[in-house]
Amino acid sequence: MYKNEKDSNIQITLPLVSKNEDNVVFPLVINVLTKFWGEITPEDEILQRITPYANHRGSVFIEGLEIIQKKFNLLSKVYRGSLDDLKKRLSQGVPLIVILPGINETIQFATVVTGYDPEEKRLLTYVPEPDSFGAIPEEKFFSEWAQEDFLTMMIYPEDAKDILKNSSFMFEKTNRISLEAERLKIQGKSKEALDLLTQALGSNDEGKDNPQLLLMIAGILNEQDNEKCVELYEKIIKLNPKFYLAHRGLGNYHLKRKNYSQSKQHYLNAIDISPSRYGPIYKNLGIAFLNLGNDASAKESFKEYLQRVPNAPDAKNILDFINS
């Protein structure tokens, strides 16, 4: 870890890990921190766990967190972070994983925060290239992180747990349960996932106000066309008005139910929070406009969709409509 003479600029040096070492059950960010704490990539354990996810494009974080605990006795916490907590951990020499909004075709992504520059008011993030790092203005970082309800993951060795003993970590239990349920859902076990989430909601006081847990439940109910998801999405938005995925979820639900006016408004709410976050939302917005008889706005939305998703499989049909 580097600090300047005034002990204010903090930057933790992390090992360089190739992008090719990113893995569905052992994401790059977990791989980086595993090596930072002096361990090597556990190839044997990865091979044992990867089979169920052959067709999954994203990351299954709970698998990686279980791997490092089993193989190396590295501990982890999954919680609702804050800027104050983030700066405190960095000053203790503990880099953190944070979940941030994606762009275009990526809904979200994970990065490691490695430092803080108080003069420039920038958060420094890991970049898997030699002598490189990202720098995000604090205000922008906070705004984007809020869209994920400040989801944070900490990885640390067992002998460092004493420095955390007087700290509290909001939603720690139910955020981990949410990751466990996400794994079940990815494996096609939505019923088991919903049972796990519902049990957590009923038995843990923090669950009823945890947007991550509520979002997982709402998402499964939405896939089942269960109108109970609406109440959950609306509660999430009350808890965190900037939670992008809740606005998008409501838009998707109402679009399926052909409530086009409501669907349009929820998509617009999501876009207002982050216009560049997720390209496919513009396609759905275009469908809503089209069914409301607003062809001009539909075409503008479809143009935005194709600009952000240039390799869209339905590009030809959409272009034909735009040019009609």
Same domain, 201 and 275: no
Q: Select from 144, 167, 190 the last residue of a domain.
A: 167
**CATH code at position 188:** 1.25.40
**CATH code at position 289:** 1.25.40.10
Same domain, 162 and 196: no
- Specify the pTM: 0.92
pLDDT per position as a tens digit, 139-172: 999 999 999 999 999 999 998 888 888 899 999 9
Q: How far is CA 283 from the centre of its chain?
A: 22
Q: In what helix (H) or strand (E) does residue 226 lie, and over which residues does it extend?
A: none
Number of domains in the chain: 3
Does the structure show a pLDDT above 50 at 97?
yes
Q: CA 249, CA 267: separation in Å to the nearest integer?
A: 9
Q: 188 is in which domain, residue-wise?
A: 171-240
Same domain, 73 and 12: yes
Please state which of the ranges 153-167, 224-238, 244-258, 295-309 shows the lowest mean pLDDT.
Answer: 153-167
Strands 10-11 and 2-3 turn out to be antiparallel
Q: Select from 208, 240, 272 the last residue of a domain.
A: 240
Average pLDDT, the chain: 93
Does the structure show a pLDDT above 70 at 1?
no
pLDDT per position as a tens digit, 163-173: 888 899 999 99
Same domain, 278 and 191: no
Q: Select from 214, 240, 266 the last residue of a domain.
A: 240
Decide: 180 and 62 in contact? Cβ < 8 Å.
Answer: yes
Q: What is the mean pLDDT of residues 54-67?
A: 94
**CATH code at position 44:** 3.90.70.10
| β-bridge mates for residue 117, sequence order | 122
Q: What is the mean pLDDT of residues 97-107?
A: 89
Does the structure show a pLDDT above 90 at 272?
yes
